[in-house]
Amino acid sequence: MKNNNPIRMCIACRKRESQKLLIRLQLVDKRIVTYQGFGRSTYLCLECIRNDKRMNGFAKRFKIEREELSTILKELEKNGQS
Ligand SMILES: [Zn+2]
């Protein structure tokens, strides 16, 4: 069987999910940014990004403005996953 369905973990709720169903982000100097196309990536599940309370906590944890996080997530959701 080909391994074309890698499993990744959502860093907010730690649920394991198919990579295809996760939003890809990157941590740079412990800050969340959109994925740069190289380096280590990190993931968030759709359930989490639609959960406002969870995203508030997430924003605080990664020292990102809540509005900035929302913008990033909206963009990523719109563009689909890479
Ligand atoms: Zn999650």
Q: Which tens digits make up the pLDDT trace of 6-50?
A: 999 999 999 999 999 999 999 888 778 888 888 889 999 999 999
User: Is the per-residue pLDDT at 81 higher than 60?
Assistant: no
**Gap from CA of 10 to ligand 1 centroid (Å):** 5
Q: Structure pTM?
A: 0.78
User: Is the per-residue pLDDT at 73 higher than 60?
Assistant: yes
**Gap from CA of 2 to ligand 1 centroid (Å):** 26
CA dist., res. 72 & res. 55, Å (int): 12
For position 42, what pLDDT does the model report?
92
**Gap from CA of 38 to ligand 1 centroid (Å):** 23
Q: Count of alpha carbons within 13 Å of 81, Cβ hemisphere only?
A: 14
For position 77, what pLDDT does the model report?
76
**Gap from CA of 18 to ligand 1 centroid (Å):** 12
